[in-house]
Amino acid sequence: MDKGNTEVRAKNLSEKLERVKNSGEFEWPNIIALNKVIICFIQDAEKIVNIGAGTGNFEWHASEDKTKTFIASEFDLECVEWCKKNRERENIIYTSKTIN
């Protein structure tokens, strides 16, 4: 049976916070660059859903365009709460609800 992505959920946020604590980068620069490139492909979209949004890196950078609404879905509640506290914008909705 395929279990899909076996990434440890909370590990993502805890590793990033640990890097910052040790004077490192919260987000890897290459991931920031990749997300900025992806933004170029959503030109005419008005609503974007990101499943597995993690710490909201993509939404944070892309939401500078106020004409777009972002739904960032992440099952890791710790990440969702962190995003709501640290990356809040009017055009981003952070959620852990299942998207049907």
Q: Which tokens sit at 81?
A: 């709460």
Q: Do 62 and 70 meet the contact criterion of CB atoms below 8 Å apart?
A: yes
Separation of alpha carbons 58 and 35, rounded Å: 5
How confident is the model over 12-34, as a mean pLDDT? 88
Is the pLDDT score of 6 beyond 60?
no
Where does the pLDDT of residue 88 fall: very low under 50, low under 70, confident under 90, or very high at 90 and above? very high
Tens digit of each residue's pLDDT (9 = 90 or more) over 37-80 = 999 999 899 999 999 999 999 999 999 999 999 999 999 999 99
Is the pLDDT score of 5 beyond 70?
no
Separation of alpha carbons 100 and 84, rounded Å: 22
Average pLDDT, the chain: 87
Is the pLDDT score of 95 beyond 80?
yes
Where does the pLDDT of residue 9 fall: very low under 50, low under 70, confident under 90, or very high at 90 and above? very low
- Exposed, middle or buried: residue 92 (CB in 10 Å: 0-12, 13-18, 19+)? buried
- pLDDT for 29: 87
